[in-house]
Structure 1
Amino acid sequence: MNFAIIGCGFIAKKHAQAIENIPNAKLIAVCDKYPDAMDFYVENYNATAYVDSIEMLKDSRIDIVCICTPSGFHAAVAEEVAVAKKHIVLEKPIAMTIRETNRIINAAESNNVKLTIVHPNRFRTVVQEVKKILNEDLLGKISHANCLVNWNRGQEYYDQASWRGTKAHDGGVLMNQAIHNLDLLLWFMGKPKEIFSMEATRLRDIEAEDVSTGIIRFENGALANVQASTTVYPKNFEESITIFGEKGTIKIGGTNALFFEKLEVKDLDETEISRIISKVEKDPWGPPGHQRIIEEMILAIENNKKPSVTGQDGKQALELVLAFYKSAESKEIVSL
């Protein structure tokens, strides 16, 4: 299948590399309003460069478009792509508002194209193992969970582009960094019911938050603490999710939530626990997440099924972030 990329910033290179690693997939076109941003893809992938996305989308050879623009532009670009009858791989977050999100989902559905959102952490080896344990109900009734993302993004990171750290086009640590972990928390724990949150902008000169802390009550009654920041000195410190159940405790952690820091499950013997831990340690990242997202999209098109990460999945993660924002602003519990 033939691919195009709209928006040739940093994340676009991950898409290009993923496409290159997939048999029978080829990047044939790129689009960006800055011609210099496309030179890399012209030189390394022989892609045709466009400054006008509408013009690029007239190319009947293009099957799938990867949208890598700033988040605030996702809705407008996704609608253009859907109307052109191209399938959509859309970077996270799906959009900045629910209204924009609904525009994207409706455009894909009405034009009969597939839509997937880039939440690649679902494909990490340790995450897949946790999901299996939860699907088999080996932890029993879940009591609560902790979700931590304490990273570093210095001022120079935000100063790279005028849209970074803005509320209109980027958001803060919840919308940009921690949304991946919130997606996993929802995947593990189910639907949220109530949210209470506080946030602050402590160290970075940006509009949005650089530190946030909050509490979730899920529909099943379980609770979760969420803490996220980009203010940690001098580099990324931790990314972890801990789940406490009546028959076990699981913690995945490290700098990037790649390993089991705790795996104690009543109905798993020591041999099985050692096997699972060893499997994760041998290949912690697994296949690159962007590659898996794109591979799953190709399979969805070929077999006419839903992609592994749907537009509704992206919407649920965004709804949670927006609920955190609403609670922090109102200083009240927000119900979903």
Structure 2
Amino acid sequence: MMNFAIVGCGFIAKKHAAAIENINDAKLVAVCDPFQAAMKPYSEEYGAKEYKELDEMLKKEPFDIVCICTPSGLHASIAEQAAASGKHIILEKPIAMKMDEANRIIRAAEENNVKLAVVHPNRFRPVVRELRSILDSGVLGTISHANCIVNWNRNQEYYDQAPWRGTKEHDGGVLMNQAIHNLDLLLWFMGQPEEVYSMEATRLRDIEAEDVSTGIIRFESGALATVQASTTVYPSNFEESITIFGENGTVKIGGKNALYFEHLEIEGFAEDKISTIKNKINADPWGTPGHEWIISDMVQAVINDRQPAITGRDGRNALQLVLAFYESATINKPIHIHKGEFVWEHFYNQQASLMS
């Protein structure tokens, strides 16, 4: 039996608690939040002990794994404390708001020999896993390019729920808070990015960060991808999709939540085979909830002393891509990415001038 604690009892913590409850060898024993009213549902429904202070919970409560569900800007300091106390960590996306914070979290986990998982639950959707299987099989041949779209609605009331929402310090905009899941999938499907160029705007929402973003990615393979993301669509979520274009096939997963194959055409795949694949997905499009997958996987990672399915480095890669988009939009130049850090395009131009 693995005992769990949750830090931060806002909306997303409900998914963690429900997932823990559904796993036989997991139990929620404690919650931590500065607001006692936020903890009440967890103490009443799950019998979790309430702690207003993280230090007190870490010292007094015997548990194995902590789920960190606080505003993103607080992730680094909390994760470092948890790691120093020997607690394995499940960290809500994004892993952090800055690369140095992400590196601190990863380093703290490694130095204290604890497991670190980042919550990117879309990887466990049935249609996503099927698409990954198709890509792994090689039947699409060389990938030419991909399209990634997240056209959603988050109205002003959503951002007004808490003062940290939509801020650059603790939340970010549509890329950091919504589309980062889809960027994680692009990395999972397409590999290491090499260069990005982006534009962004804050068009309709009264927030610090962007509510609309468009961008282009060049991957090390030579494949390209376009990214379009927004929270300004009227009146509700319109589309979440990823399309992969290969020399031997075209595959699109889409709908309002990227749950179905909207297009599946692959050389050598007969109609009955395609229908079988689509029908399997349509029968259970959500599958086991992603948070349940991640929490169950962490339990097994601890028991078997292996890495979680989605590691801290995976989380850092997704953050790196978002920050590269932000940097490009700020300086209006392409950004080069080099496995762990990104470098401004104009830096290369300056160096070239000095050497000529």
Aligned to 2:6: 5
Q: Deviations over 1:55-94 (max 9, x none)?
A: 1012452000000000000000000100010100000000
Q: Is the 8 A contact 2:198 2:329 kept in 1?
A: yes
1:58 match: secondary structure: helix
Gaps of at least 5 residues in structure 1 are: none
Matched residues in 2 for 1:39 and 1:60: separation?
18
Q: What letter is aligned with 1:125?
A: P
Whole-angstrom CA distance in 1 between matches of 2:72 and 2:329? 22
Alpha-carbon distance in 2 for matches of 1:57, 1:271: 56
CA contact (8 A) 2:251 2:264 kept: yes
Find the residue that maps to 1:57 and give its secondary structure: helix
Distance 2:174 2:25 in 1: 37
| Residue equivalent to 1:138 | 139
Aligned to 1:225: 226
Q: How does 1:77-92 map to 2 (within 5 A)?
A: 77-92=78-93
Q: How does 1:94-243 map to 2 (within 5 A)?
A: 94-243=95-244
SS in 1 for 2:317: helix
CA offset at residue 268 of structure 1? 2.2
Per the alignment, residue 277 of structure 1 pairs with 278
Alignment match, 1:50: 51
Q: 1:131 Cα deviation (Å)?
A: 0.2
Shift of 1:97: 0.3
Corresponding residue pairs, total: 336
- Give every structure 1 segment of 4 or more consecutive aligned residues whose post-TM-superposition deviation is greater than 3 Å: none
- Spell out, residue by residue over 1:6-28, the C-alpha distance to the aligned partner (whole angstroms, 9 max, x if none): 00000000000000000021000
Look up the SS of the partner of 2:200 in the other structure: strand
TM-score (norm 2): 0.94
- Check conservation: 2:30, 2:61, Cα contact below 8 A: no
Q: Is the 8 A contact 2:23 2:296 kept in 1?
A: yes
Residue 267 of structure 1, CA deviation:
2.9
Between the two proteins, what is the percent identity of the paired residues?
Answer: 68
- Whole-angstrom distance in 2 between the partners of 1:60 and 1:31: 11
SS at structure 2 position matched to 1:80: helix
2: distance between equivalents of 1:21 and 1:63?
17
The answer on 1:15 being equivalent to 2:39 is: no
In structure 2, what is the Cα distance between the partners aligned to 1:319 and 1:47?
35
Q: Which amino acid aligns with 2:247?
A: E
Give the CA deviation at 1:98.
0.3
Structure 2: gaps spanning 5 or more residues: 338-356
Hey, what does 2:252 align to over in structure 1?
251
Q: Which residue number in structure 1 is paired with residue 26 of structure 2? A: 25
What is the match of residue 263 of structure 2? 262
Distance 1:36 1:297 in 2: 29
> Deviation digits for residues 108-166 of structure 1, max 9, x if unmatched?
00000000000000000000000000001110000000000000000000000000000
Deviation digits for residues 4-52 of structure 1, max 9, x if unmatched? 0000000000000000000021000000011111010011001000001
The TM-score normalised by the length of structure 1 is 0.99
Determine if contact 2:93/2:119 at 8 Å carries over to the other structure.
yes
Partner amino acid for 2:121?
Answer: P
Give the superposition deviation at 1:274: 1.3
* Cross-structure match for 1:318: 319
1:219 Cα offset (Å): 0.3
Structure-1 separation of matches of 2:67 and 2:203: 34
Paired with 2:72 and 2:308, the residues of 1 have a C-alpha distance of: 21
